[in-house]
């Protein structure tokens, strides 16, 4: 069955977990790929931190696969390969989200494609679907769970009542989180991926430094437990959306109602939902990490290159970044249980035109301090209707100043389902 | 912004809901598509049952879009367009699943592409992902909820306790089901789509008449309610899988555990899960029907054609169709509540090597006949481990003959999640 196929030589930069899995996968699938495309991929050179010479590898290769990560020397290597007219595949979200514009220009200049499906959402073909299936559609919004580590931690906190620290420790023990988990849990990794998705979905020039983001380090098991009263599920959600001619790209811990397509994405899985008037919405989900999965996404890009599949990527036009966006909010207050409290809170919200959608109050003996307290305390939990973030923040600042408010108000965004099935 | 673009003339066959939405979408998105591809699509001729002449439309068009449905004259029109070297886009699952081999050969002969994303799963880009992203992967199995009407009916039965007839009536009132719902509720529509997916995923020649299928007409609200004891959710699931060098393609009502990615697909949505060792699984979901959504999938194919995107579709190799496959099963028995019953049932199952995974028994006063009975009756509900269908059927046949079994045993397949997040 397998045609011999013209040999296509791959220069592989990096031979860690993903690089090793990719080399194995190329060997295993070379026959099938030769049958499909008439071309037989073969790893011709490998660059690691201790072995190989990039100039020699580049001179010999037909395609460069960059799996070393980080900004330099990855940027230099990729730029030189593109300048030499050699197609490049990268799984490096930091590189693409930071130097995308420069590298796309280099790709346009020489005509050598730059593909990076593996940089965004693991095995989920989000880039291909946006660039090809939806090339003719007007995309309004993209929501994504694009970091498997944080989704694993939040899932464990919700399922098993673990604290953030316990769930993080478990993720580290299982290899889902690194010893220094900052990039994952701080939201920076997800922010880089959302910058890439925003650029592709809207055809605008968005870079990582224009993404507002927040991580999950301050989420407590209590936040997750209390929100169950409203049937809410907590996820770290990236959102890219068009707003009044500009765009907003942001990553925040957010509550979802169970009917939202991202609410049932558990464990280390990733998912991306794309919304457009002509499609309603498409959601794609799959494993977000793992050497073999990332290698498989790289292999998909390789087949595209062997097959000369063109991309219809638009130019990255300049765009206004909108910072003050509308959202619904979850607000959790601990207050003294005395008359007039609710009226003052309602008044502060009303002053900023914030209206409440759901509200619950629980009165309980205060457990504060060393347990000596006997004061009655009340816990007020509410979800607002959509409101401008600036107005909600102003209302919360005012509430925080009220004398009967006993702890810092806890605020988490709520994403409402736009479409109902 | 919008380049003028070379005009590409579209001959549109059919101007019903989808055809009308497609014509509108082409007009609306022509500028954006011209910018992306350098070519400007324009509907140049429309054939309806009462107006237009196909020979003239074909002679004038650069691309034919077939939205008339059914086998003839659709097959004739598509074959003639391909023979004339003109690319064809079709949303016609009956056509592709019945005459796929013949039409693909015509496409290969003339080099004119035949695309049909809209024929399979509404807006979900299942074909593109299988043919492109996963072209280098070895796909083991595809599961799909590929009929929105039946998913709507089952969702309503589960959510609101409606009977099958009530839920069907509601679907008809809302336009989700046709006056003659046979193709949907009988499983034939889903079977045609699964034949197409199997062909693409495995590169083998599968036609509609090789798909085993069953519909949802005999599902009762009680089936759905009882299975809640085991936390099971009922869906009409299409499965295409490789088995010992052959393939099996089938559509059955099946129970899913809540962790299965298809279990949370509700209402008229469709979803497709693709499993491969190198990706674990990818699930895609979105609206399964609707004029604008189907038109949008057709537009995605049009952009591919304007963009000269090649397909790496393999030849349809002959393949053995495996009929006796392994599955887990749900078995519901109504029996007299007397000693020895359980032992005889266990013995019948054991004779066929069927082992039980979960079991529940409820004893209740018999409600049979006109309510005059005072016999004690028992309801036995169990889920088996995976077993060959032939062995399970033999066991059930034997059980049905036992004197204490008071009603026809109810059997529904159970799909277990292969991957755990």
Give the separation between CA B215 and CA B412, rounded to whole angstroms: 12
| A127 → chain B, closest CA residue | B133
Which DSSP string corresponds to A325-394? Answer: -EEEEEEEEEEE--TTHHHHHHHHHHHTT--EEEEEEEEEE---TTTT---EEEEEEEEEPSEEHHHHHH
Look at residue A312 in the predicted model and tell me its pLDDT: 54
Contacts of A310 in chain B (CB under 8 A): 307-309
Residues B164-179 have pLDDT tens digits of 999 999 999 988 888 8
Would you call A290 helix, strand, or coil by DSSP? coil
Look at residue B371 in the predicted model and tell me its pLDDT: 43
User: Residue ranges of the domains in chain B?
Assistant: 6-115, 126-287, 326-415
Would you call B248 helix, strand, or coil by DSSP? strand
| A36 → chain B, closest CA residue | B312
Look at residue A338 in the predicted model and tell me its pLDDT: 86
Catalytic residue among A9, A193, A323, A391: A193
Q: Which of A278, A281, A288, A308 to mutate to test the interface with B (most CBs of B within 10 A)?
A: A278
Closest by alpha carbon to B177, among B217, B148, B220? B148
Residue B299 near residue B26 (C-beta atoms within 8 A): yes
Give the separation between CA B63 and CA B230, rounded to whole angstroms: 52
Which DSSP string corresponds to B156-192? Answer: HHHHH---HHHHHHHHHHTTSS-SS-HHHHTSHHHHH
CA A60 to chain centre: 36
Residues comprising chain B, all counted: 421
Helix or strand run (H / E) with residue B379: strand B376-384
Q: Which of B3, B22, B120, B136 to mutate to test the interface with A (most CBs of A within 10 A)?
A: B136
Residue B90 near residue B68 (C-beta atoms within 8 A): no
Give the separation between CA B86 and CA B58, rounded to whole angstroms: 8
Helix or strand run (H / E) with residue A121: none
Bridge partners of residue A327, in order along the sequence: A387
Helix or strand run (H / E) with residue B347: helix B341-351
| B304 → chain A, closest CA residue | A132
Look at residue B350 in the predicted model and tell me its pLDDT: 94
Look at residue A290 in the predicted model and tell me its pLDDT: 76
Contact A285 B36 (CB under 8 A): no
Mean pLDDT computed over B106-129: 88
Topology classification of domain B6-115: Rossmann fold (3.40.50)
| A306 → chain B, closest CA residue | B312
Look at residue B316 in the predicted model and tell me its pLDDT: 67
Contacts of B278 in chain A (CB under 8 A): 25, 292-293, 295-296, 299
CA B181 to chain centre: 15
Give the separation between CA A227 and CA B196, rounded to whole angstroms: 44
Give the separation between CA B242 and CA B137, rounded to whole angstroms: 14
Domain A126-285 in the same topology as domain A6-115: no
Topology classification of domain B126-287: Dihydrodipicolinate Reductase; domain 2 (3.30.360)
Q: Is A343 exposed, middle or buried (0-12, 13-18, 19+ CB in 10 A)?
A: exposed
Residue A76 near residue A66 (C-beta atoms within 8 A): no
Confidence check: pLDDT of B368 > 50: no
ipTM surpassing 0.95, yes or no? no
Angle between helices A17-37 and A291-306 (to 10 degrees): 30
Nearest 5°: the CA angle A396, A397, A400 is 85
Task: Tell me how far apart the 2 most distant CA atoms of chain A are, in Å.
Answer: 83
Bridge partners of residue A256, in order along the sequence: A233, A415
pTM: 0.84
Look at residue B1 in the predicted model and tell me its pLDDT: 42
Omega before B91 within 30 of 0, i.e. cis:
no
Look at residue B28 in the predicted model and tell me its pLDDT: 92
Residues B210-245 have pLDDT tens digits of 999 999 999 999 889 888 878 889 999 999 999 888
Would you call A320 helix, strand, or coil by DSSP? coil
Give the separation between CA A13 and CA A89, rounded to whole angstroms: 10
- For A260, list phi and psi in degrees, rounded to 5: -70, 135
Look at residue B364 in the predicted model and tell me its pLDDT: 67
SS3 content of chain B, % helix, strand, coil (to 5): 40, 25, 35
From the list A117, A264, A282, the residue facing B286 with the nearest CB is A282
User: Domain A126-285 in CATH: superfamily?
Assistant: Dihydrodipicolinate Reductase; domain 2 (3.30.360.10)
Look at residue B313 in the predicted model and tell me its pLDDT: 59
From the list B25, B35, B138, the residue facing A314 with the nearest CB is B35
Helix or strand run (H / E) with residue A191: helix A188-202
Which DSSP string corresponds to B83-142? Answer: HTT--EEE--HHHHHHHHHHHHHHHHHH---EE-GGGTSTT--HHHIIIIITTTS---EE
Give the separation between CA B355 and CA B333, rounded to whole angstroms: 16
Residue A218 near residue A191 (C-beta atoms within 8 A): no
Closest by alpha carbon to A201, among A231, A241, A172? A241
How many CB atoms lie under 10 A from the CB of residue B323? 13
Look at residue A38 in the predicted model and tell me its pLDDT: 87
| A269 → chain B, closest CA residue | B421
The pLDDT > 70 percentage for chain B reads 93
Bridge partners of residue B234, in order along the sequence: B255
pLDDT per residue rounded down to tens, chain A (421 residues)? 445 789 999 999 999 889 999 999 999 989 988 888 889 999 999 999 899 999 999 999 999 999 998 999 999 999 999 999 999 999 998 898 889 889 989 998 999 999 998 888 878 888 888 887 787 788 999 999 999 999 999 999 999 999 999 999 999 998 888 888 998 999 999 999 999 899 889 888 888 889 999 999 999 998 898 888 788 899 999 999 998 888 999 999 999 988 889 999 999 999 999 999 888 899 999 988 778 888 988 998 898 888 877 665 556 677 788 888 888 999 999 999 888 899 999 999 999 999 998 888 877 654 544 444 446 788 898 999 999 999 999 999 999 999 999 999 999 988 876 544 4
Look at residue B311 in the predicted model and tell me its pLDDT: 61
Residues comprising chain A, all counted: 421
How many CB atoms lie under 10 A from the CB of residue A187? 26
CATH of B326-415 given 3.30.70.260, 3.40.50.150, 3.40.50.880, 2.70.50.30? 3.30.70.260
What Rg, from alpha-carbon coordinates, does chain B have?
A: 24
Contacts of A137 in chain B (CB under 8 A): 29, 296, 299-300
| Side-chain-side CA neighbours of residue B176 (13 Å) | 23
Contacts of A364 by beta carbon, 8 Å cutoff, 6+ apart: A376, A377, A378, A379
Mean pLDDT of chain B: 88
Q: B118 to each of A256, B45, B67, B298, how far by Cα in Å? A: 30, 21, 10, 6
Look at residue B319 in the predicted model and tell me its pLDDT: 77
Give the separation between CA B116 and CA B132, rounded to whole angstroms: 14
Mean pLDDT computed over B326-331: 90
Q: Return the DSSP state at A113.
A: -
Dihedral of the alpha carbons of A355, A360, A366, A367, in degrees to the nearest 10: -100
Contact A124 B282 (CB under 8 A): yes
A349 to chain B, closest Cα gap in Å: 36
B292 to chain A, closest Cα gap in Å: 6
Relative to beta strand A326-336, strand A410-415 is antiparallel
| Side-chain-side CA neighbours of residue A129 (13 Å) | 36
Residue B149 near residue B267 (C-beta atoms within 8 A): no
Q: Return the DSSP state at B245.
A: T
Q: Return the DSSP state at B38.
A: S
How many CB atoms lie under 10 A from the CB of residue A48? 13
What are B355's two structure tokens? 């082992």
A149 to chain B, closest Cα gap in Å: 12
Contact A283 B280 (CB under 8 A): no
Q: Which of A17, A127, A136 to mutate to test the interface with B (most CBs of B within 10 A)?
A: A136
Contact B296 A132 (CB under 8 A): no
Contacts of B268 in chain A (CB under 8 A): 421
Contact B32 A296 (CB under 8 A): no
Look at residue B373 in the predicted model and tell me its pLDDT: 45
Q: B260 to each of A25, A173, B256, how far by Cα in Å? A: 27, 26, 6
Helix or strand run (H / E) with residue A298: helix A291-306
Contacts of B303 by beta carbon, 8 Å cutoff, 6+ apart: A132, A135, A136, A312, B33, B36, B37
Confidence check: pLDDT of B255 > 70: yes
What are B57's two structure tokens? 């439309």
Contacts of B280 in chain A (CB under 8 A): 123, 286-287, 290, 293
From the list A125, A278, A300, the residue facing B136 with the nearest CB is A300
Closest by alpha carbon to A97, among A74, A65, A123? A74
Helix or strand run (H / E) with residue B66: strand B63-66
- For B210, list phi and psi in degrees, rounded to 5: -100, 0
Residue B33 near residue B66 (C-beta atoms within 8 A): no
Look at residue B361 in the predicted model and tell me its pLDDT: 84
Helices (H) and strands (E) in chain B, counts: 13, 16
Would you call B19 helix, strand, or coil by DSSP? helix
């Amino acid at each position: 069955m397998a045609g011999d196929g013209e040999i296509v030589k791959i220069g592989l930069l990096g031979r860690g977990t993903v690089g090793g899995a990719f080399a194995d996968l190329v060997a295993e699938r070379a026959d099938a790929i030769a049958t499909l495309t008439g071309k037989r991929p073969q790893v011709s050179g490998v660059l690691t931190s201790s072995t190989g010479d990039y100039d020699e590898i580049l001179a010999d290769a037909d395609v460069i696969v960059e799996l070393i990560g980080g900004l330099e020397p990855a940027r230099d290597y990729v730029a030189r390969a593109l300048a030499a007219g050699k197609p490049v595949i990268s799984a490096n979200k930091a590189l693409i989200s930071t130097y995308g514009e420069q590298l796309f220009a280099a790709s346009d200049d020489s005509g050598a494609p730059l593909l990076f499906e593996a940089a965004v959402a693991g095995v989920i073909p989000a880039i291909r679907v946006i660039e090809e299936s939806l090339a003719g559609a007007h995309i309004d919004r993209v929501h994504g769970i694009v970091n498997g580590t944080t989704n694993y931690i939040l899932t464990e906190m919700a399922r098993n009542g673990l604290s953030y620290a316990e769930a993080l420790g478990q993720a580290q023990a299982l290899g889902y989180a690194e010893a220094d988990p900052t990039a994952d849990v701080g939201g920076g990794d997800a922010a880089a991926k959302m910058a890439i998705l925003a650029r592709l979905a809207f055809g605008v020039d968005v870079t990582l430094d224009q993404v507002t983001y927040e991580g999950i380090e301050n989420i407590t098991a209590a936040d997750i437990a209390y929100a169950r009263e409203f049937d809410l599920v907590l996820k770290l959600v990236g959102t890219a959306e068009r707003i009044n001619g500009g765009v907003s790209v942001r990553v925040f811990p957010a509550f979802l109602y169970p009917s939202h397509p991202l609410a049932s994405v558990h464990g280390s899985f990733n998912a991306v939902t794309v919304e457009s008037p002509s499609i309603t919405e498409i959601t794609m989900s799959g494993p977000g990490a793992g050497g073999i999965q990332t290698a498989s996404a790289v292999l998909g890009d390789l087949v595209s290159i062997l097959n000369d599949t063109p991309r219809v990527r638009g130019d990255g036009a300049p765009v206004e970044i909108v910072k003050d966006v509308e959202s619904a909010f979850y607000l959790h207050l601990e207050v003294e249980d005395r008359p007039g409290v609710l009226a003052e809170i309602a008044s502060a919200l009303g002053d900023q035109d914030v209206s409440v959608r759901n509200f619950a109050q629980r009165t309980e003996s205060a457990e504060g301090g060393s347990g000596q307290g006997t004061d009655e305390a009340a816990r007020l939990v509410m979800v607002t209707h959509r409101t401008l973030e600036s107005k909600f923040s102003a209302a919360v600042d005012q509430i925080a100043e009220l004398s009967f408010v006993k702890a810092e108000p806890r605020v988490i965004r709520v994403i409402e389902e736009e479409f109902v099935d």
